[in-house]
Amino acid sequence: MAARVLDGKRIRDEIKAELVGKVRALKAAGITPGLAAVLVGTNPASEVYVRNKVKTSAALGLFSEKIDLPASTSTLELLDLVDRLNHREEIDGILIQLPLPPQVDQSLVLNAVDPAKDVDGLHPINVGRLVSGDYGLVPCTPAGVIEILKRSGIPIRGARAVVIGRSDIVGKPVALLLMHEHATVTVCHSKTRDLAAVAREGEILIAAMGRPAFVAGEFIRTGATVIDVGINRLTTEEEVRRVFHDPTGPLRLLAEKGQVLAGDVQPEDVKKRAGAYTPVPGGVGPLTIAMLMANTVSAAGARRGRPAPKSSDEC
């Protein structure tokens, strides 16, 4: 039977439609959720991400502000800005677009964000809350992964889940969220021995390693749900030929656009082995901004005594 495609765009639109209702209810109570997006320097990918975040905020009826700073900005200047944003009543979410330039002490800046406005879920207070299971603001991409699984009716409770990747932004938080959803979770990384055999144990397999098409058929348990978080930009014909068994379409795309996106999972193998999978593009990617909006809306309510915390019922 053909593997089911888990359509991230459809789920993103569903979440956005729900958020419109929530924003309307907050506005009726005199609250307009506000997001400040801080971009330091002129990284083209970061510029696109921030522009899309601000555009989506406006479409959902949020107040949003884009703050552009030169690449030469110092840690102190950023700390000063964060302090001002922390004190502004109309700002509910502060987003510091990563990566920051090398002269900036990234963790000092991220740790200075008011945890109640930390819509990226990276402040140690929010990380600690995620570990404990009493969480509110969680990192957006991992939250999106859970939304895809739940809204696609994939059972998580009791399932064997394998996460490949242990970064603070994706791997670790997604593993914690799956654990809180009662999956039995294994986390793999670059030092894992016999990775393919461990990955094959996963009824749910999450690939978040940043290695194009690394997860080949032998990593995938027959019928598994495969969530591909990887976003890799292929810019040469050689890379495209290495990733795609039939490179005709992707090579045409490369000629037209100068790049082709590929996930961490081999795109043809996953169709043959998995029961369900997220494509790249169009899978996890679309959820990230939607979850940032969801975090901003929930921060706006929580800061004014309307909390909607998620809490696990672990035992």
Instruction: Tell me whether the omega of the peptide bond preceding residue 142 falls within 30 degrees of 0, making it cis.
Output: no
Site track 118-157 with ligand NAD (rule: CB under 6 A), x = hit: -----------------------x----------------
What gap in Å lies between CA 41 and CA 83, rounded to an integer? 20
12 binds ligand NAD (CB under 6 A): no
With CB under 6 A as the contact rule, the residue among 34, 171, 202, 267 that binds ligand NAD is: 171
Task: Return the closest-CA partner of residue 294 out of 38, 41, 53.
Answer: 53
> Does 9 participate in catalysis according to the annotation?
no
Q: Could you count the other beta carbons within 10 Å of the beta carbon of residue 266? A: 25
Nearer Cβ to ligand NAD, position 116 or 278?
278
Q: Does 164 participate in binding ligand NAD (rule CB under 6 A)?
A: yes
Kindly state whether residue 226 participates in binding ligand NAD, applying the rule CB under 6 A.
no
The distance of closest approach from Cβ of residue 212 to ligand NAD in the complex, given in angstroms and rounded to an integer, is 8
Site for ligand NAD contains 9 (CB under 6 A): no
Choosing from 92, 114, 118, 120, the catalytic residue is 120
When the beta carbons of 146 and 302 are compared against ligand NAD, the nearer one is 146
Token pair for 34: 């506000």
Segment interacting with ligand NAD, rule: CB under 6 A, options 17-25, 35-43, 203-211, 219-227? 203-211
Contact criterion met (CB below 8 Å) for 166 and 160:
no
292 binds ligand NAD (CB under 6 A): no
Residue 50's alpha-carbon distances to 38, 45, 67, in angstroms, are: 8, 9, 10
Residue from 211, 271, 304, 310 in contact with ligand NAD (CB under 6 A): 211
Measure the CA–CA gap between 170 and 236, rounded to whole angstroms.
27
Would you please indicate which residues are annotated as catalytic (active-site) residues?
53, 97, 120
